Each structure stands twice: as C-alpha cells, then as structure tokens.
C-alpha cells in the first residue's frame, strides 16, 4: 500500500517560514522524482517545486523561486519543502506527489505525470 504523508503545515505571518515534510512508503522512493503542488482558495492546483530522484535537478514555479527550496533524503524516503519569506498568496493546501516514471532525469511539472498523492497539509499566511 502506497502512502505519502505530509506534515509541517500551519499558520504564519507574512515573512515567516515553514518546512513541509512528506514521508513515503510502499513505493521505490529513491527511483522517483517527487513534487510539491498547492491549491489556494478558489484556485486550481498548481505545481510548486519538483526534484529528480538523484537530486541533480530541481524545478520551481516562478513565484517561489528564491524563497522555497525542495530537497530529499532517499535514506528516509522523505522529501521536504523549505518555505521562507512567505506571502499571503502562498496560502493553500500543499500536496506531495510521486512521479509515474522511474529514473526520469527531470522532475515533471504536470499533475498528470504524478501517480501517487498525499492528503495535503494546510498552509495559511496572514498579512
């Protein structure tokens, strides 16, 4: 049984920081790119960040570049999202997801390319 479990969400003021974690089980984590997505109030879910299985390649949506950092620990089957200088527009439910394809050289950015999803963790940033 595959499980992706996010944690680390919460409420912070603008300018604050949070670190999200996602622990995976039941899949070949070290072979898969991982991604973080978010869905804000009244918005569609969007790609936030992705990291290749080897950590050699990362991608970010433009709005978080320079503020968010994705990382992973294959020994712990975990992926992380360090979020600094948070803004109210970062508010939403954050989901981690695993790539459909093993050994992909680059992390995908489209939802359809991710197979398994976590249940999400709420991030609320107040002004």
Confidence of residue 125 (pLDDT cuts 50, 70, 90): very high
Residue range 3-29, pLDDT digits in tens: 999 999 999 999 999 999 999 999 999
Residue range 18-58, pLDDT digits in tens: 999 999 999 999 999 999 999 999 999 999 999 999 999 99
Residue range 80-101, pLDDT digits in tens: 999 999 999 999 999 999 999 9
Residue-by-residue DSSP string for the chain: --EEEEE--EEEETT--EEEEEEEESS-GGGEEEEEEEE-TTS--EEEEEE-TTSS-EEE-GGGTTTEEEEEEGGGTEEEEEE-S--GGG-EEEEEEEEEEET-SS---SGGGEEEE---EEEEEE-
């Amino acid at each position: 049984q595959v499980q992706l479990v996010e944690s680390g969400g919460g409420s912070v003021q603008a300018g604050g920081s949070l670190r999200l974690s996602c622990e995976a089980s039941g899949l070949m984590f070290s072979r898969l790119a991982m991604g973080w997505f978010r869905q804000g109030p009244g918005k569609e879910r969007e790609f936030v960040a992705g990291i290749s299985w080897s950590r050699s390649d990362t991608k970010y949506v433009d709005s978080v570049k320079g503020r968010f950092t994705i990382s992973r620990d294959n020994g712990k089957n975990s992926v992380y999202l360090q979020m600094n200088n948070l803004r109210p527009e970062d508010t939403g439910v954050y989901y981690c997801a695993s790539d459909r394809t093993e050994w992909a050289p680059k992390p995908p950015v489209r939802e359809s390319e991710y197979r398994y999803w976590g249940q999400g963790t709420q991030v609320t940033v107040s002004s």
